[in-house]
Amino acid sequence: MKKILYILSLGFLMACAVSCSNDFFGQYPSNNVTEGNFYQTEADFNQGVYACYAKLKTEMGFYRSELSYRADEADLESMAVSTQDRYDLDHFQQNSSNPILSAVWNAWYNGIYRCNDVLDHIKTTSLSSEKMDQYKGECLFIRSWYNFMLYKVFGCVPIISRVVSPVEAKGIARCTDSEMLECLETDLKEAIRLLPATRPAEKARVSKIAAQ
């Protein structure tokens, strides 16, 4: 009887040792979509690319405010609490606390994060096709666009070419002019190589001519 209990106990311990592997502790909830389990198919990557485009709309609000208040379309001679941000733009006074500038900074870096997220997963996926090349080309183009807009509005800014933690991001220094231009050139050259010449069925998505 003791021998049988010993064998059963030993078998139970062995089963526990096998089941308690790294895979066991690295599981994701079956009813949740997370960053860790999302990218499985071409369709998933396509949705990821769509998310990269989404932050482009932030520019419209920004330039509507900037251009109207820096031109003759709008004018703020006096400041109120609710118009401080626009008053500063009207008087060419830019600082990091301006909500309009803060919004575009956060939106464009979030767009870069989305591009990096797709690109990082493309590097590790076993999927390989013409579509996957197009997705990579789109992300490289969109990332270069966000970097260019940040450079245009804020000057030399940190260049982030992969997904990083918030703590790591704080330690990335501002780039130099030459580093930014090199970054833009590298991304666009690769995008030109990967993007299709035309988009007959998806006219709103970038093609080779946009990167050229």
- In this structure, what DSSP letter does residue 182 have? H
Q: Please provide residue 93's backbone torsions phi and psi, each rounded to the nearest 5 degrees.
A: -115, 100
Residue 179 pLDDT:
97
Average pLDDT by consecutive 10-residue portion of the chain (212 residues)?
A: 52 53 57 68 89 84 70 70 78 81 90 95 84 93 95 93 92 96 96 88 85 88
pLDDT of residue 71: 72
- The model carries a pTM of 0.77
**CB atoms closer than 10 angstroms to residue 149:** 19
Sign of the C-alpha dihedral computed for residues 110, 131, 183 and 171 taken in this order: positive
CA 165 to chain centroid, in Å, comes to: 13
Tokens of 15: 């089963």
